[in-house]
């Protein structure tokens, strides 16, 4: 069953009261469609930019940014590789009256849900009858490098299948711990309409970063005020005029059978191949087999081989909108590339998005959705998928249930529940290989530190050799049972 959500937005070229007055110059009567390439996204950038440079400095509490970053990043993608998507639609036999179907697994209300998707639909070519955005929300209220959204009346941290499962696994954890003093940051503001008169010439709005790295916006900010009136039902519906937004609070693998086939799949900071993100394996394999274009947008932190993530000159970073040769050591984009390489996926290319959310943190800055990559299908000689049998999974589940993950992870019950649930997913050797490639060096360094401190037991040596951490190097991925040893004995938790 679809559920609607999103902020109140207007369709076509009309702007809501929240965004009215933010334009540097009037929108053209007809927006340039994305089939015309960079002219479309540059037009959108000109319309949203302000003299103080909205997209080149910290901007994470600015409503203009939160409403437009996701849809304009997608507009940039469509403008850049539209031919790939057109070719896929043609090859899949899409009828001329079929809407452009875009699936966004891993969505959440605080990011995709705050977005004005009409900003994308207004740029559709004439031969595309409509744009249908399907937001698939396994963890609906998950906040990943965006402001917290607890001011929303419908906020429910335990909504969605993943959080419900985690709650069941960690019932002893007091959920009241999540009802912290953040409420003070959202005290009612008597002048609730004051955010409508934000000076378009002012700098982008920012807030503060808490010790646990939550992003807090001032109660009087446009972001916080907008959250107070947020309703799921406002925009997740068919708006007519070429835009439909559908929202499904399920895992993508559980929802996809009931959805039309996508023309493009978009993922924002999916986090694979991290250990706690193993459920993505069930999503990636069918998508790669279908050869549907997959657009992945990732964050980059300053210091991850790039010191100045704000650079627009081309000296340190690619200029906004230009191609980017992503490497496996380059932030989250590198994680994505490493995983897709293990899956033997075809890499179409990488680019720098012109529409990032910039966050200034203690000692490091973050650019959300700064890195854009496109993949499509697998290499011609790719090996067949290898997945555990039902019998093997039954035995594996029993093994995982028997491990004391809470003790192994220093009484962190939430983390233990997440790790336990993730290890119970049936996972292909491709994901396990990507995970091994990601963590092998860090696990070996942890062992070396323990060895220097004389904390390695003699009885562990056969297993350590089997893991390839001593003696002959190993290339094959670690099994779940071996990961249990790494976590419980070596106390490795840097995932």
Segment 19-59, tens digit of pLDDT: 333 333 444 447 999 999 999 999 999 887 665 689 999 99
Helix, coil or strand: residue 33: coil
Tell whether the torsion through CA atoms of 213, 219, 221 and 224 is positive or negative: positive
Cβ atoms of residues 405 and 491 within 8 Å: no
pLDDT (average), residues 157-180: 58
| Cα separation, 339 vs 300, whole angstroms | 17
169-192 tens-digit pLDDT = 556 444 433 444 443 333 333 333
Contacting residues for 264 by C-beta, under 8 A, at least 6 apart: 77, 78, 85, 100, 101, 102, 103, 292, 293, 294, 295
Distances (CA, A) of 97 to 82, 100, 130: 18, 9, 8
pLDDT for 352 beyond 80: yes
Tell me what pLDDT residue 166 has: 62
Tell me what pLDDT residue 307 has: 87
| Cα separation, 462 vs 490, whole angstroms | 14
245-302 tens-digit pLDDT = 999 999 999 999 999 999 999 999 999 999 999 999 999 999 999 999 999 999 999 9
Helix 413-423 to helix 161-169 angle (10° resolution) is 120
Tell me what pLDDT residue 223 has: 85
Contacting residues for 343 by C-beta, under 8 A, at least 6 apart: 284, 285, 288, 378, 382, 430, 431, 434
Could you list the beta-strand ranges (E) of 145-260: 208-209, 215-216, 238-240, 243-248
| Cα separation, 180 vs 199, whole angstroms | 32
pLDDT (average), residues 203-225: 89
Tell me what pLDDT residue 55 has: 94
Q: Residue 5: which pLDDT band, with cuts at 50, 70 and 90?
A: very low
412-451 tens-digit pLDDT = 998 999 999 999 999 999 999 999 999 999 999 999 999 9
DSSP 270-313: --TTSGGGGGGHHHHHHHHHHT-EEEEEEEEETTSS-S-TT--S
| Cα separation, 473 vs 454, whole angstroms | 22
Q: Residue 165: which pLDDT band, with cuts at 50, 70 and 90?
A: low
The end-to-end CA distance of the chain, in Å, is 34
Q: Where are the domains of the chain?
A: 34-378, 390-488
- Percent of the residues in the chain that have a pLDDT greater than 70, as a whole number: 85
Contacting residues for 154 by C-beta, under 8 A, at least 6 apart: 5, 230, 231, 232
Helix 63-91 to helix 38-48 angle (10° resolution) is 170
Q: How many CA atoms lie within 13 A of 326 on its CB side?
A: 32
pLDDT (average), residues 100-120: 96
| Identity of the highest mean pLDDT range in 161-175, 302-316, 394-408 | 394-408
pLDDT for 70 beyond 50: yes
Mean pLDDT, the chain, rounded, equals 86
Helix, coil or strand: residue 106: coil
Contacting residues for 315 by C-beta, under 8 A, at least 6 apart: none
Tell me what pLDDT residue 14 has: 33
Q: Residue 1: which pLDDT band, with cuts at 50, 70 and 90?
A: very low
Tell me what pLDDT residue 234 has: 87
Q: Within 10 A of 219 (CB to CB), how many other CB atoms are there?
A: 17
Q: Within 10 A of 234 (CB to CB), how many other CB atoms are there?
A: 15
| Cα separation, 88 vs 409, whole angstroms | 45
Torsion-angle region of 209 (φ positive above 0: left; ψ -120 to 50: alpha; else: beta): beta
- CA dihedral angle for residue 259, residue 264, residue 265, residue 268, rounded to 10 degrees: -140
pLDDT for 162 beyond 80: no
- CA dihedral angle for residue 90, residue 338, residue 344, residue 291, rounded to 10 degrees: -20
Q: Which of 421, 313, 361 is nearest to 208 (CA)?
A: 361
Tell me what pLDDT residue 49 has: 67
């Amino acid at each position: 069953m679809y559920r609607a959500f999103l902020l109140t937005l207007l369709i076509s070229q009309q702007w809501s009261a929240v965004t009215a007055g933010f334009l540097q110059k009037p929108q053209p009567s007809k927006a340039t469609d994305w089939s015309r390439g960079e002219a479309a996204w540059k037009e959108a950038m000109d319309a949203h930019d302000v003299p103080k440079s909205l997209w080149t400095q910290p901007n994470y509490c600015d409503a203009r940014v939160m409403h437009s970053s996701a849809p304009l990043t997608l507009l940039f993608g469509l403008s850049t590789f539209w031919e790939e998507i057109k070719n896929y639609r043609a090859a899949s036999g899409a009828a001329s009256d079929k809407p452009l179907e875009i699936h966004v697994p891993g969505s959440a209300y605080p990011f995709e849900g705050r977005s004005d998707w009409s900003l994308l639909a207004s740029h559709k070519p004439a031969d595309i009858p409509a744009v249908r955005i399907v937001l698939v929300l396994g963890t609906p209220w998950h906040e990943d490098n965006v402001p917290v959204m607890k001011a929303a009346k419908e906020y429910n941290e335990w909504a969605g299948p993943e959080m419900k499962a985690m709650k069941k696994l960690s019932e002893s954890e007091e959920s009241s711990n999540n009802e912290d003093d953040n409420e003070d940051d959202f005290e009612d503001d008597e002048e609730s309409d004051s955010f409508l008169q934000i000076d378009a010439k002012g700098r982008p709005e920012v807030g503060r970063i808490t010790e646990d790295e939550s992003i807090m916006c001032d109660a009087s900010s446009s972001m916080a005020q907008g959250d107070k009136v947020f309703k799921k039902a406002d925009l997740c519906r068919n708006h007519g005029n070429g835009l439909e937004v559908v929202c499904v609070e399920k895992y993508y693998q559980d929802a996809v059978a009931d959805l039309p086939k996508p023309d493009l799949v978009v993922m924002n900071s999916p986090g694979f191949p991290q250990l706690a993100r193993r459920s993505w394996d069930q999503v990636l394999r069918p998508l790669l087999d279908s050869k549907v274009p997959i657009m992945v947008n990732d964050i980059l932190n300053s210091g991850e081989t790039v010191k100045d993530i704000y650079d627009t000159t081309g000296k340190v970073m690619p200029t906004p909108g230009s191609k980017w040769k992503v490497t496996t050591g380059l932030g989250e984009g590198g994680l994505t590339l490493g995983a897709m390489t293990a899956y033997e996926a075809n890499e179409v290319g990488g680019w720098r998005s012109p529409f990032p959310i910039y966050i200034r943190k203690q000692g490091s800055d973050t650019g959300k959705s700064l890195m854009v990559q496109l993949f499509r299908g697998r290499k011609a000689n790719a090996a067949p998928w290898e997945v555990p049998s039902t019998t093997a999974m039954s035995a594996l589940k029993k093994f995982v249930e028997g491990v004391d993950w809470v003790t192994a992870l220093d009484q962190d019950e939430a983390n233990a529940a997440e790790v336990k649930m993730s290890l119970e997913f049936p996972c292909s050797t491709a994901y396990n290989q990507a995970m091994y490639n990601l963590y092998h060096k860090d696990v070996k360094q942890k062992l070396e530190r323990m060895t220097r401190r004389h904390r390695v037991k003699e009885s562990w040596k056969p297993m350590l050799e089997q893991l390839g951490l001593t003696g002959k190097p190993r290339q094959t991925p670690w099994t779940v049972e071996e990961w249990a040893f790494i976590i419980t004995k070596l106390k490795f938790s840097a995932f």
